[in-house]
Structure 1
Amino acid sequence: MISFESVTKTYPGPRRSAADVVAVHDTSFNVDTGTITVLAGSSGCGKTTLLRMVNRMVAPSSGRVQINGDDIAHMNPVQLRRKIGYVMQHAGLLPHKTVAENIAVVPRLNGATRAEATRSVDRMLEMVELSADMADRYPAELSGGQAQRVGVARALADEPRILLMDEPFGAVDPLVRTGLQQQLIDIQHELGTTMLFVTHDMSEALRLGHEIILLAKQGRIMQQDSPTRLVEQPANAFVENFLGLNAVDKTLTTRTTEDGRTMVVDAHGRPAGFLEQA
């Protein structure tokens, strides 16, 4: 489990005499092991700051983050990051390395032999549904969707127990995004990885999350709940506004599909996402 305990993050003001800028203020929550937890909210609400605290890319000004009861402030940051997968919006692939070399980076850093790393590459390519002949391509030869798949494969290559994802599908077209979302659900089911996922897209949050944490400015938690409860029992007007529940043309309702899944639809009957994974 990942625990955030009263974390605050401030930055110096733009001028010497200016007050500090508060990115996150006194935020506490837990991320359950083996689940996808989504941090959702508008730009500037602190969701990426919170995500980056987990691998110590951002250090809290006060408070602490624990992984399975251990304070990460006492861990070697380099070793910590090698044990945590990280996927960002534009994949962040090394341009001078092939797909195979990109995927093999962390296993090799962690001591895997060349043969072991090759097996990891083959397994990851299969898992993200990329053909073996993609292994020798360079990032510049990939489409946006392919690059993101490689980014996910690289993050999972050494089988980390935690995967951090910072709006990883935001730069791809809607059709590709839907496929990547389903692929992520399938991978999480197979591996049982604990995932912390950042997005401002509520349709994406509703589809992916076992639990959604909706944030206002400075990381204030407006509601932390299952997708079903978030839609059916919004905690306050902020949640209703963010979900569009009080807009005539954006009213969200639920509908049960033939296979028993709960789907969210808008006022026009268009699917907005599934509340619970099958």
Structure 2
Amino acid sequence: MLSKILWEAHVPLVVVRSYGMIGYIRVQIEEHAVVESHPESEMPDLRLDRPFSALQKYMDSLDLESMDNKEHSHVPYVVILYKYLQLWNQQHGAPPKNYKERKAFIELCKTGMREKENNEPEENFEEAVKAVNTSLLPTSIPSGVQSILNKAASITPSPTTKPFWIMARALHEFVTSEGRGALPVRGTIPDMTADSEKYIKIQNLYREQAAQDADWVLRRVQELSQQLGPRKIVPSLDNDVRTFCKNSHALRVVKGKSITEEYKGSINLGEIGYSK
């Protein structure tokens, strides 16, 4: 059977049939790796609970209390959240973890809000308050991505290793060393009310850190690839690795079944939503 031969040879098979106005398509593939999965709800990667050194140094250099009203009302909300998170941690020993603590943290942020000349609240502080639930989440690795890293850790690269798994192996090594348990910085930040100078400065800090993290992974991919011999499989390194790192929080691997295997077993009607 063609499907069995191609499955054993690790070659994808696409079966298409048409009956007049009706038809179907069936893809037989052992594994499909997804790098750019475009998740519907994506939280910003601000690292406020564990800021990298360049970000922390810049944030610490800013003093909200000494700013005049105009400058104060144009500080990016990421700075506001960082400053009040430091104050909160001094008082409580750890970032807010639940609804009650986050509500109390919001009230703490509001204590620093000043009224503008028209007696309206500062937009940047209002943005900070709205961003608490999404921007103060602990920096962590999603369970699905962690499963991929665990598998990558057990892989010994060979000439037949797919580029995805070479990059995943390098990513695993980054997480356990340079990343100190975290994925590479994504390098993007949300839009926010701010003066151009400070916003661009912070934006560049995130971008530069993302580039440094991707460079580390890239070097490791190159080293692993050089070990593969004359039949080595090397991705188009620079762009592929940077895209891989930027989307590392949403990596997915979809496992397939062979058509032969499906015909051998009985169909589970529960899996297709059948009910009597």
Fold in common (TM above 0.5): no
- Relative to the length of structure 1, the TM-score reads 0.28
With normalisation by structure 2, the TM-score equals 0.29
Instruction: Answer 1 or 2: higher relative contact order, Cα 8 Å, separation at least 6.
Output: 2
Higher share in helix: 2
| Bigger radius of gyration | 2
